[in-house]
Amino acid sequence: MKIEDMHQVVKCTVLGSGTSSGVPFIGCTCLVCTSTNPKNNRLRSSCLFQVDGKNIVVDTSPDLRQQALRTPFKIIDAVLYTHVHADHVHGIDELRIFNVHKKGAIPVYGTKETIDHLIAKFPYVFLPHQDSTYFIPHVETHVVTGLFDCEGVKVQMIPCHHGKNYITMNYRIGNIAWLTDTNGIPEESKKLLKGLKYLFLDGLRITPHNTHFNLQEAIKVAQEIGAEKTYLIHLTHDYDHDEFNKTLPAGIELAYDGLTVEA
């Protein structure tokens, strides 16, 4: 069966559309950082997939607590990790509260390299779990690759370049793909992105960057992949949401925190 037909309805909510600093950037007085438009307020990169009654988050951003309160949600059935940069993993401690609600360990998925790096970065999380008070998070690791089963949900891993010699593992569920932190999509990965309804794609900023797509690169790649709609994510304060959206080609928009799509 094709990945696009595996689930009836897939819902995806943007928990964070911002770059590693978040927007506003601390201390910045630019028009975007001081804007009162909530669409210019960008928490760190993450999204929530809701499919077949499961809540699956991509990454544990440093803003996970705020994201869960704001959306809101209190259940995490699984975490899919893209890579171990701080803006994608440092909210791992917030999983404690989700342990309380789940009354058990949270399954976390990633490549062997990602899981090994998580263990090296946060050794206390991976100590044998002693009790049910959850003063430390309790996770259960799953090393995965390709197309895999995540708590009954079919997930396709999409490897992408993130600078030289570094790969992020991004994810597609049904007809929605979340591609954060990338400056290049290998041909093999592009084949896994056919027939998308919604593509979330790194479009960091206007000027070039050596590990992320800038605006022009993201537009080119979005048009090549040809999803019905592409939303740019991992955004800096370069973009005033409403002003910029008017300038983008048809089918491409800036994402914003709280945006929900269904496919």
Distance, in Å, from the CA atom of 253 to the CA atom of 227, rounded to the nearest integer, reads 12
Contact status: 30 vs Zn ion (CB under 5 A)? yes
Indicate if the alpha-carbon torsion angle 231, 47, 72, 92 is positive or negative: negative
Contact status: 86 vs Zn ion (CB under 5 A)? no
Contact status: 205 vs Zn ion (CB under 5 A)? no
Stretch near Zn ion under the rule CB under 5 A, chosen from 46-54, 60-68, 104-112, 180-188 = 180-188
Residue-by-residue DSSP string for 240-263: -HHHHHTTSPTTEEE--TT-EEE-
Contact status: 202 vs Zn ion (CB under 5 A)? no
Q: Which of 77, 87, 94, 202 binds Zn ion (CB under 5 A)?
A: 87
Contact status: 181 vs Zn ion (CB under 5 A)? yes
Task: Count CB neighbours of 238 within 10 A.
Answer: 17
Distance, in Å, from the CA atom of 211 to the CA atom of 70, rounded to the nearest integer, reads 30
Contact status: 33 vs Zn ion (CB under 5 A)? yes
Contact status: 85 vs Zn ion (CB under 5 A)? yes
Q: How far is the CB of 20 from Zn ion (least distance, A)?
A: 5
Phi, psi of 87 (to 5 degrees): -70, -10
Q: For residues 227-246, which are near Zn ion according to CB under 5 A? A: 237
Give the footprint of Zn ion on this chain (CB under 5 A).
25, 28, 30, 33, 85, 87, 181, 237
